[in-house]
Amino acid sequence: MQYETSENAGVIEVKLHGRVTYSDHPSFRSVISMIKESAATKLVFDVADVEFIDSAGLGMLLMVRDTAAQKNAQVVLKGPKGQVQRIFASSKFDSLFTIQL
Amino acid sequence: MGGEGIARLCGDGVTASLLEPLAREAVAILWQPADGSALELLGKGAGVDGAPLAVVLAGVDEERLTAALKPPVVACMEAVGQTIHRAPHMFRPGTLSLSLSTAAAYRLEPARLFCEALDERIGLQPEVLQKAELALHEAMVNAIIHGNLEIGALPKETLDDFMHFCQKVENRLGRPGFGDRSVHMWAVWTDKAVDIVIEDEGPGYDAASVPVISDDDDPNRKSGRGLWLIRDLAEWAEAENEGRRMTMRFPR
């Protein structure tokens, strides 16, 4: 997985690319550190360019959500497609995140 | 292989002596020159044109594994040092198999390459291909972690938990008797369905003892989704061989 982050007007945007799997925990650690240090009230994870996510990747997004919740920040998952959209639906992520198609 | 001598055997990056035990069962022994040019025939010869091709590959990486899984190969086996991670079954047309060390399987995440190689042979609907890749990936992670590395379910509620878990995995991968065990995956197909199988060399488990989470269970669970996903994605899935083998069926 590759990712880029930007922060503007209280919104952190994290754009993910490629495959999100168990091997990406160091990247999520960096992103979670950034969230902890920020005063942002909204996090947008742009997953439009993610081609594959596994159950560990889902778990790491849930950990991001927990971190955001501690700071009363909202998490948006933006642009899921294909396999990512399907696994979000079957895992009922729409009950936990705002999903923006 | 079963001693029937049905395969052509191709070594890529391995010594001829390492191939010897397998070569005794092969109808032809071929060699892949380092420059990637045409296979050379080293010995034997009967049935060279018709027999399925098995590849023994050393120094496996994504690029070399992708090349090794191209048709007409029916089996690819990783060689590490003096060990060949040898497929546990016969090589025959209508099948595809891949046997790797646990360490390589963890590093390479080969479900995508394997499913793409399968698609190249039998053509799967895009949605079925996606489902098969994710199910095989999840089954492979289970085979590696809970099978060959013998790591039980650890709490993974926080990223610190997850980092601790990953450190334990890395430590086990480097320990003799764990990271050098084999992971085998293979596919067998008919006109109507394809069965994808993954098998590890761990101690096994009692499949009936694993709680089955249902689709109305807690969506906030951060781990333990793998088996549920496999059952959700596959038309049919079953643990066999005392939990060491998982067979998953997908429609064609």
Q: Which residue of B has its CA nearest to A57?
A: B222
Residue B214 near chain A (CB below 8 Å): no
SS3 labels along chain A: CEEEEEEECCEEEEEEEEEECHHHHHHHHHHHHHHHHCCCCEEEEEEEEEEEECHHHHHHHHHHHHHHHHCCCEEEEECCCHHHHHHHHHCCHHHCCEEEC
Q: B64 near B43, Cβ under 8 Å? A: no
Nearest CA in chain B to A91: B219
Distance from CA of A54 to the nearest CA of B (A): 7
Contacts of B112 in chain A (CB under 8 A): 19, 52
Nearest CB among A21, A92, A95 relative to B109 is that of A21
DSSP B148: I
Q: Does B130 reach chain A within 8 Å, measured CB to CB?
A: yes
Measured between CB atoms, does A95 come within 8 Å of chain B?
yes
Read off the DSSP letter of residue B214. P
Of A19, A25, A93, the CB nearest to B159: A25
Dihedral Cα B55, B61, B64, B69, nearest 10 deg: 50
Partners of B95 in beta bridges = B188
Check if B159 contacts A (Cβ < 8 Å): yes
φ/ψ of B205, rounded to 5, equals: -155, 165
DSSP state of B51: S
Cα B12 from Cα B54, distance rounded (Å): 11
The minimum CA-CA distance between A18 and chain B, rounded to whole Å, is 13
Best of A28, A51, A54 to disrupt the B interface (most B CBs within 10 Å) is: A54
Report the gap between the CA of B97 and the closest CA in chain A (Å).
Answer: 23
Q: How far is B137 from chain A (nearest CA, A)?
A: 8
Instruction: Give residue A6's pLDDT.
Output: 94
All residue ranges of chain A with pLDDT < 70 are none
Half-sphere exposure of B63 (CA within 13 A, CB side): 1
- pTM of the entire predicted model: 0.90
Does A19 sit within 8 Å of B141, measured CB to CB?
A: no
Q: What is the DSSP letter of B21?
A: H
The tokens for B86 are: 């040898």
- How would you write the pLDDT of chain B (252 residues) with one tens digit per residue? 333 445 677 888 888 788 877 777 666 666 665 566 666 665 655 555 656 688 899 999 999 999 999 988 888 999 999 899 988 776 677 889 999 999 999 999 999 999 999 999 999 999 999 999 999 999 999 999 999 999 987 777 888 888 888 899 999 999 999 999 999 999 999 999 999 999 999 999 877 777 666 665 778 887 878 888 999 999 999 999 999 999 999 999
Task: Find out whether B91 and B54 touch, Cβ atoms under 8 Å.
Answer: yes
Instruction: Answer whether B156 touches A (CB < 8 Å).
Output: yes
The CA-atom distances, in angstroms, between A81 and each of A26, B146, B195 are: 24, 31, 27
Which pLDDT score is estimated for B189?
Answer: 94
Q: Which residue has the tokens 């503007």?
A: A8
Considering CB atoms only, which of B133, B219, B229 is closest to A96?
A: B219
The answer to whether the Cβ–Cβ distance between B133 and A56 falls below 8 Å is no
How many angstroms separate the CA atoms of B245 and B248, rounded?
10
Chain B interface includes A87 (CB < 8 A): yes
Cβ-Cβ contacts under 8 Å between A and B: the total is 68
Pair B129, B115: CB distance under 8 Å = yes
Q: Is B61 left (phi over 0), alpha (psi -120 to 50) or beta?
A: beta
